[in-house]
Every structure is written in structure tokens, then in C-alpha cells.
Amino acid sequence: MSPEPRRIAVFGGVYSNHLALAAAIEDATARGAEALYCLGDLGAFGPHPDRVFPLLVDQEVRVLRGNYDDSIARGLEDCQCGYTDPRDNHFARLSYRYTFRNTHERWRRWMARLPGEIRLDVDGARVLMCHGSPRRMNEFLWESATSTQFLTWLAREHEADIVLATHTGIPWQRSLPGGGLFANVGVLGRPANDGRTEVWYALLDFGDATEAPAVLEFVPVSYDHERLAGEMRAEELPEEFVETILTGWWTTCIEVLPARERALGRF
Amino acid sequence: MHGSAPPIEPRQDSARPRRIHSSQSSANDAGSAGAAPLVRLDHLDTLWFQVTGTICNLRCVHCFISCAPDNDSFGFLSLAEVEDWLRRSEKWGVKEYYFTGGEPFMHPDLAAMLERTLERGPASVLTNGTLLPARALKPIARTARAASYSLEMRVSLDGPSPETNDPIRGEGTFDRAMDGVRKLLAEGFLPIITATQVWEPERDEEVRQAFVARLRSLGYENPRLKILPSLRIGREAARIRPYTDEERVTEAMMEGYEENQLLCASSRVVTNRGIYACPILIEKPAARMGSTLEEASRPVRLDESACYTCWLHGAICSNYGGIGQDVS
């Protein structure tokens, strides 16, 4: 059995952004990540969903199933993102139909076999990776709308010390009482609604076996976002999506944001 | 529009499903016979405070709990009581807190309550927006800016103009609520405008656009809007019609249904008369669950007619639930 990795890279939703995924894999490898993980939502939003899967397989990224993957794999009628606003749902539907149409049956079968969660044990620290939250694949855990006492309950209930999730698109982390940690690792698929074109992933460092808590760092990734925008336009994806890639500001699927996160964006 | 739409399969438990719309489900097919189903408290995500009871400065004609200036059937919660419930809620892992009434801004200690709450988690206040003097709002805005959690302000308005709103909420309430929205914006809040669907459903998009235009004229460039279904209880039963015998939730209707769409699967309401299953039902004696969170954590029976509306639309009272219509 190979020893547990001391440093891992954890990617959030890829949203078909194969260029950002390739850049993140290269960046994480250069930073000494010994194992790569992806927390699901491989398709959506971007162009050519099938370009993502070979990268994950070739680079041995360990992947779990997000709500998007679950929907595409099972042929559900929508992405299960949980939007309630009609405009958000309109764009979610456009994106879902495009992604569904352009995902090969072979990869749908592959996604159907992905696990719902991944667990690691590193020096007794129980790491739980999931998509939305440990209890619900499509739960949004926003920094300003999630109490620490809730995260503490969630970690205890699911027998974890370190919980890693994605789904919302904005990275954040919080230490929990008793040495635990929760982190939303952000996404590679689109910028974090911060006016920057980079996307984010997380590097988790377990340090030496003798050292105490693991340290999590968010890493920005530059990639050829203009090329991605060109591919999106060629595929006739909504110009609103392209604008997000080019400006770093979310234009769609924003009504689920809590007040604090909403106020930080442009729209 | 697109060539090959994916086939439709039934929902599974792995993720929260879409809302169920009335056009997709027929409760009547399921029949109305049999005992009402029980809903287990999955987890206490949300604790509501009925902070001003049933006391409100307005007397809206569609109010589902008949709140009014002279309805003191439920009274105020004190600051000490709220602090006590906040402490008790910790071990339950409560994710967020909601303040409702009545009109929460009638409470002299609202600012202090919100300050204590935001030390612990996110908070939302459901207000009619007509009582937001600077002396009440300024300290709350300061607390909100300093807090690491969101403080959501939800302002109820039932039409995008005085002509549509005031017959429901009272003479002059549209202008006063809009003034409240202006003050909230000036203090850096992004209020969620919450409207009850008192118009025909076919007019949703038209009304939505009228709201957006009116709010933009105040400088609210990207207004947040939530549309609630009307609940035919309280005064609304007399204004429109009460629920029919067939409009009930049955066991058959719960098959394949995600229970966590229902507020009572994840919430309880603290009032000065005990803990209730849901903020809609505090006037129903059967909805009183007990006087401690332990007692109140038992399952809720969906035997009230208003449960039907919640079943149909899902989590209607939370910030992100509501009526969303197909615009594609």
C-alpha cells in the first residue's frame, strides 16, 4: 500500500472548463501535490464537456459525483442545482441541454460509477470530501450563511475532522472547535465573482506526521480564458456565460447568493 | 429549441429535487382519505423567532395569521428569551435564524437581538418595511457590516404600485415600504422583496418585470425578488376562498417526495406560547409542539390545509424558496 499523501490538491466544479483543469493539474503537480482530487460537477457552463474526462483519467485525478454528473449520468430533466429564480433556471436549462447533448454515452456511464464521497485517513485525521455537503449533494454552503455550530454538527454527524466541499463556486474555509476544518474549495469552472479571471483550487498540506493541524491554502490559476471564451462563442453558448469568463463577474445563477456574497459581485 | 432534450426520470434521494408545480402533480388524483402523513425533523437547520407575536402595525387583508395592531394573541419575546434560545440552539447545530411577527421592527430590542444572533449565525428579518426609522436601522446596519454572517432583510410588498399593493396591505403602505427599501439600500442592505402572488399566475412575468422596473427607479439595479404563493387561511380564506376538502396532503402524495422541501422537516418556531411546527400555523393549536426543543423535535403531522400549499411549492418561507416559472 502506498503511504498516505502529505500534500493533496482538491479541485471543485470543472463546468467543462478543460483549459483551466489542465492548467490546475500542471500547477498542482508543480507545487508538489502527491494526489489530485475533484469534487464533481464536471460539465455545465463551458464548451465541449467531453474534453474534461480524458484529462481526469490520464492524470489519475480521483473524482466524486456532483449533482450535475448525477443528472447527466441518469438523464434527469435538470441539473438539480436547486435554483428557484426563473432567470437562473432559464440559463441553467440552456447549459444543461447543451452539456447533455454533448456528453458521450461512454462518459455518462463513467460518471454513473463515480462515488458520492471520498474519505481519507491521514495520521488519524479523518478527511471527508463531498460535493455540496456531507448530507446533501446539492446543498449550498456559503461562508456568510453557514454557522460554525452547523458545520461542527455536520462534521460530527459524518465522522470527519476535515470536510471539503464545492458546489457554490466561491472558496472559503473555517476552523472548527476541536481542531477540525471545513473548506469550500471553490471551482475551476468559472471565476469566483471577484472581478478576476483566475479560478481557484485548494492545496491541503498535512505536514509532518508529528505536526498538528493540516493547512489549507487556496491557489489561483491563470489559464487561457480568452481561448475558452472563443470556444464558448463558437459553440453558441450564452454571451452572459462568456462575459463571466472574461470579466470574473457572475452574470447568471446569482439569486441563490446570500446578501454578503451578493454584495461583493457586480450583479 | 434544442434537438434532444434529455428524458425525464423520477427524482431520487441523492439531491434536492425541483419544486413540484401544480401542473405536474395532481393531489386530487391521490384522494383525500386516510390519516395525514408525518414529517420527521431531519435536522434543525432553521430556528424562527415569532419575535413580535401577532402584533403588527398593518392589517393586511391576506394575512395568514391575522396579525394586527390589536391582535395580541401572541406577544413579544424578550431579549433574554431570545438569548436563551440562541444558547439552547447551539447543541442542535442550527444553521440560521429568522425573525418574524407581526412586525419585528415594533420590538424595541430588535437591534440587540440581531447583534447576539449574528455572533452565532446568519439571520433574516421579515418586515413590512414601513417602520424603519434611522434610529432603529442605523445600529442594525452597523452590526450587519461588522458581522461575518449575512443579515438578510426581507420586505413584503404585494404589488409593484400603490394601486396593486395598497388594497392588500393598506392605504399608503406602498410608498412607505418603498421608502423603507430606499433606507435599507442606503445602509448597504440588498433587501429581498417578497410578494404574495395575489394576481393571476399567468401574470407572474409581467408583475415581476413591473417590480424590477419600480425597484430600479429607486436605484436598486439588480433587485432580489421572491414570490410566495397565497395561503388560504386566516384572512385570506375569506378574501379568496378556503381550501377545499380535497386540498390536503395524503400518504400517497408523499411517495417519492423529498420531505426536506417542507419547512417542518428542518425548522421550528419559537413563540411566547411555546414552540410551533411552522410560522404559518401558529394559530392552530395542534401545531404547538411543546415548550422545549426536545419536545418540539417530534414529527409533524401534515393535517392542516395550508400544508397543501407548502407541499405544492416547497419551503415557501425560506429566503430562496418560492414560485419560479418557466421563462424559456
User: Contact, B125 vs B319, CB < 8 A?
Assistant: no
**pLDDT beyond 70 at B217:** yes
Backbone φ, ψ for residue A21 (5° rounding) = -65, -45
Q: Cell digits for B318?
A: 425560506
Q: In the A/B pair of chains, how many CB contacts fall below 8 A?
A: 134
Would you place residue A259 in the very low, low, confident or very high pLDDT band (cuts 50, 70, 90)?
very high
Distances from the Cα of B105 to the Cα of B113, B129, B248, angstroms: 11, 9, 35
**pLDDT band, residue B16 (cuts 50/70/90):** very low
Interface of A with B in 129-158 (CB under 8 A): 132, 135-139, 142-150, 152-154
pLDDT at residue B4 in the model: 41
The yes-or-no verdict on residue B264 having pLDDT over 90 is: yes
Arithmetic mean of pLDDT, B89-103: 97
Q: Are A138 and A131 in contact (CB under 8 A)?
A: yes
Give how far B1 is from chain A: nearest CA, Å.
10
All residues of chain B having their beta carbon less than 8 Å from the beta carbon of residue A111 are: none
B contacts of A136 (beta carbons < 8 Å): 15-16, 260
pLDDT above 90 as % of chain B: 72
SS3 assignment, position B204 = helix
Percent of chain A with pLDDT over 70: 97
| Average model confidence (pLDDT) across chain B | 87
Q: How many CB atoms lie within 10 A of CB B111?
A: 20
Q: Are A257 and A265 in contact (CB under 8 A)?
A: yes
> What's the rounded Cα separation, in Å, for the pair B194 and B179?
16
Measured in whole angstroms, how far is the alpha carbon of residue B309 from the centre of its chain?
A: 13
Rounded-to-integer distance, Cα B143 and Cα B113, Å? 11
How far apart (Å, rounded) are the C-alpha atoms in residues B301 and B299?
A: 7
User: What was the pLDDT predicted at B327?
Assistant: 32
Neighbours of A60 (CB within 10 A): 9
Per-residue pLDDT, A210: 61
Phi, psi dihedral angles at B210 (to 5 degrees):
-65, -40
Residues of A in contact with B208 (CB under 8 A): 86
Distance from CA of B73 to the nearest CA of A (A): 32
Mean pLDDT, residues B164-178 taken together: 96
Q: Does domain A7-264 bear CATH number 2.40.50.140?
A: no
pLDDT value of residue A147: 98
- Listed by number, the residues of chain A in 195-234 with a beta carbon closer than 8 Å to a beta carbon of chain B are none
Interchain pair A146, B95: CB under 8 A: yes
Cα(A266)–Cα(B273) distance, integer angstroms: 44
Is B325 touching A (CB cutoff 8 A)? yes
Mean pLDDT of chain A: 95
B150–A144 CB contact, under 8 Å = yes
Residue B21: pLDDT over 50: no
Cβ pair A149:B17 closer than 8 A: no
Query: Residue B24: its pLDDT value, please?
Result: 39
pLDDT at site A59: 97
- Between B6, B18, B95, which is nearest A150 by CB? B95
- Mean pLDDT, residues B195-199 taken together: 91
What contacts A160, CB < 8 A, 6 or more positions away? A119, A126, A127, A128, A134, A180
Residue B322 contacts A where some CB pair is shorter than 8 Å: yes
DSSP β-ladder status, A199-205 and B151-156? unpaired
Contacts of B88 (CB under 8 A, 6+ apart): B293
- Per-residue model confidence as pLDDT tens digits over A43-75: 999 999 999 999 999 999 999 999 999 999 999
- Which letter does DSSP use for residue B61 in this model? T
Provide the H-helix boundaries in B7-133: 27-30, 79-89, 110-118
| Residue with the larger pLDDT of the pair B31 and B174 | B174
Which region among A6-20, A102-116, A152-166, B20-34 has the lowest average model confidence (pLDDT)? B20-34
Q: Which residue has the cell 505536514?
A: A207
Examine the pLDDT at B44 and tell me if it is beyond 90.
yes
Q: What is the ipTM score, two decimals?
A: 0.94
User: Of A44-48, A185-189, B145-149, B315-319, which gets the smallest average pLDDT?
Assistant: B315-319
The interface residues of chain B toward chain A in range 202-231, judged by CB-CB distance below 8 A, are: 205, 208, 222, 224-225
pLDDT value, residue B313? 86
Q: Which of B121, B189, B260 sits opposite A147 (nearest CB)?
A: B121
Task: Please give the grid coordinates belonging to residue B292.
Answer: 422545549
C-alpha R_g of chain B: 20
Residues B126-152 have pLDDT tens digits of 999 999 988 899 999 999 999 999 999
Confidence grade of residue A4 (pLDDT, cut at 50, 70, 90): confident
Which range among A144-148, B58-62, B151-155 shows the weakest confidence by mean pLDDT? B58-62
Cell representation of residue B252: 400517497
Chain A interface, best mutation among B119, B149, B204, by max A CB count within 10 A: B149
Share of chain A above pLDDT 90, in %: 90
**Distance (Å) from the C-alpha of residue B171 to the closest C-alpha of chain A?**
30
Q: Does the distance separating the beta carbons of A116 and B4 come in below 8 Å?
A: no
- What is the end-to-end Cα distance of chain B in Å, rounded? 9
Residue B5 has pLDDT above 80, yes or no: no
B152 has a chain A CB within 8 A of its CB: yes
pLDDT top residue among B204 and A159:
A159
More confident residue, A211 or B114: B114
| Model confidence pLDDT, tens digit, residues A67-105 | 999 999 999 999 998 787 889 999 999 999 999 999 999
Minimum Cα–Cα distance from B328: chain A residue? A90
Q: Which of A57-66, A196-205, B19-28, B253-262 has the least mean pLDDT?
A: B19-28
Chain centroid to CA A94: 20
- Average pLDDT of the segment spanning B67-87: 97
DSSP string, A141-209: --GGG--HHHHHHHHHHTT-SEEEE-SSS--EEEEETTTEEEEE---SSS--SSS-S-EEEEEEE---T
Q: Chain A contact for B328, CB < 8 A?
A: yes
Domains of chain B: 41-243+263-301 (3.20.20.70)
**Residue B28: pLDDT above 70?**
no
Record the cell numbers describing residue A72, joined without a space.
447527466
pLDDT-based confidence at B195, cuts 50/70/90? very high
Q: What is the pLDDT of residue B240?
A: 80
Residue of A nearest to B93 (CA): A150
- Cα nearest neighbour of A116 on chain B: B14
User: Cell for A126?
Assistant: 479523518
pLDDT of residue A2: 56
| Rg, C-alpha atoms of chain A | 17
Provide, for chain B, the percentages of residues in helix, strand and coil under a 3-state DSSP scheme, each rounded to the nearest 5.
35, 15, 50
Question: Which chain A residues touch B12 with a CB distance below 8 Å?
Answer: 74
DSSP B104-160: GGG-TTHHHHHHHHHTTS-EEEEE-SS---HHHHHHHHHHHHH-SS-EEEEEE-SSS
Count of alpha carbons within 13 Å of A123, Cβ hemisphere only?
Answer: 13
Contact A100 B4 (CB under 8 A): yes
- Rounded to two decimals, the pTM is 0.92
Contact B260, B254 (CB under 8 A): no
DSSP B275: E
Smallest CA–CA distance from A100 into chain B, residue: B6
Q: Over the stretch B47-74, which tens digit does the pLDDT of each residue have?
A: 999 999 999 999 998 888 889 999 999 9
Residue B323: predicted pLDDT: 60
- Asked whether residue B7 carries a pLDDT value surpassing 60, the answer given is no
Nearest to A149 among B120, B189, B328 (CB): B120
H/E segment holding residue A216: strand A215-221
**pLDDT score for B314:** 81
Please indicate whether, in this complex, the C-beta atoms of B150 and A93 are within 8 angstroms of each other: no
> Model confidence at B316, in pLDDT bands (50, 70, 90)?
confident
Structure confidence at residue B321 (pLDDT): 62
A154 contacts B93? CB cut-off 8 A: yes
Q: Do A84 and B5 touch (CB under 8 A)?
A: no
Percent of chain B predicted with pLDDT > 70: 88
